[in-house]
């Protein structure tokens, strides 16, 4: 345990810059590897979102175009115009999906989450011909881009299920901002369903929704009351934990779902 000699001190001093340079290089390599992994994960997420949203809408548009231009396409002009209107709405939704994906990649320019959800819901309700009411309570906060993207997908999928399967007249979208979590509910008065009798492709769709909720640490509950002998309709509830969020100084009570609702879009079939 004797003190280092002058020669040892000289060697250490001469080696210190080399060691520091090596450590800095290793750190830069680690950061580059981390960024590459993050970029790859982001690319995979974008690819999945495009497959699950944009690709489906484009496939629908191609199918409708084939039907309108096929050999057996002779029909009344009113029916053709109705099909074209639906295609226009689908094209608009596809455009919004591209915008949402770009917003996720550039979160600084992203739109308020609630506004985006309401706009998305309005487009689907108008196309599906059911009345939509919305409500929002609590103080909103910024969520990470991947979390926002998954929420947009889940709410869109819940509303699309109403459009395609529920035969509903009314639907409600509720957003509840709490101090430590975000709660989103989509409720309709349609025919509901029995989870045990859902076709295989339907089971897969529900499984995908559950997986997406789990990816952001959330919980998704689907209550198909009509399929279980209860009241008509289906209720989809998404809980997303948001730790570390600070409530505003004047925060309204948000423990209960708001009684008053503001209509966003209404259209009678």
pLDDT tens-digit readout, 170-184: 999 999 999 889 999
Task: Please spell the DSSP secondary structure of 66-135, one letter per residue.
Answer: HHHHSTT----HHHHHHHHHHHHHHHHHHHHHHHHHHHHHSGGGPPPHHHHHHHHHHHHHHHHT-EEEEE
User: Percentage of the chain with pLDDT > 90?
Assistant: 20
Residue 121 pLDDT: 92
Residue 196 pLDDT: 56
Residue 268 pLDDT: 37
DSSP-derived secondary structure letter, 193: -
Residue 108 pLDDT: 44
pLDDT tens-digit readout, 12-27: 667 666 666 666 666 6
Ranges of H-type helices in the chain: 6-49, 55-69, 77-105, 113-128, 145-161, 200-215
Position 112 pLDDT exceeds 90: no
- The pLDDT-based confidence of 191 (bands split at 50, 70, 90) is confident
Query: 233: phi > 0 → left, psi -120 to 50 → alpha, else beta; which?
Result: left
Strand 131-137 with 170-177, pairing: parallel
Enumerate residues 6+ apart whose C-beta is below 8 A from 202.
Answer: none
- The pLDDT-based confidence of 76 (bands split at 50, 70, 90) is low
Mean pLDDT to the nearest integer, 87-99? 71
Position 127 pLDDT exceeds 80: yes
pTM above 0.85, yes or no: no
pLDDT tens-digit readout, 213-268: 998 999 999 987 654 555 678 999 999 998 765 444 333 343 344 444 444 444 33
Position 159 pLDDT exceeds 50: yes
End-to-end Cα separation, the chain, in angstroms: 90
pLDDT tens-digit readout, 31-58: 665 555 555 666 666 666 666 666 666 7
User: Percentage of the chain with pLDDT > 70?
Assistant: 47
Mean pLDDT of the chain: 72
Residue 264 pLDDT: 41
């Amino acid at each position: 345990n004797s003190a280092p000699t002058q020669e040892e001190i000289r060697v250490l001093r001469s080696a210190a810059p080399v060691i520091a340079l090596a450590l800095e290089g290793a750190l830069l390599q680690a950061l580059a590897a981390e960024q590459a992994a993050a970029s790859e994960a982001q690319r995979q997420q974008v690819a999945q979102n495009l497959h699950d949203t944009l690709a489906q809408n484009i496939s629908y548009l191609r199918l409708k175009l084939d039907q309108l231009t096929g050999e057996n396409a002779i029909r009344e002009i009113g029916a053709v115009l109705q099909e074209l209107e639906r295609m226009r709405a689908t094209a608009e939704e596809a455009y919004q999906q591209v915008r949402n994906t770009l917003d996720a990649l550039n979160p600084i320019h992203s739109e308020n989450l609630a506004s985006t959800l309401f706009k998305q819901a309005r487009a689907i309700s108008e196309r599906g011909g059911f009345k939509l009411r919305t409500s929002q309570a609590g103080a909103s906060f910024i969520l990470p881009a991947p979390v926002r993207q998954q929420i947009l997908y889940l709410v869109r999928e819940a509303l699309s299920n109403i459009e395609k399967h529920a035969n509903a007249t009314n639907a409600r979208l509720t957003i509840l901002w709490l101090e430590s979590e975000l709660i989103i509910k989509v409720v309709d008065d349609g025919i509901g369903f029995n989870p045990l009798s859902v076709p295989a492709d339907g089971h897969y769709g529900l499984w995908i929704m559950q997986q997406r909720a789990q990816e952001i640490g959330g919980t998704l509950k689907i209550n198909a009351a009509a399929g279980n002998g209860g009241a008509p309709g289906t209720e989809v509830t998404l809980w997303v934990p948001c730790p570390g969020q600070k409530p505003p100084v004047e925060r309204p009570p948000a423990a209960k779902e708001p009684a008053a609702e503001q209509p966003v879009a209404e259209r009678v079939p």
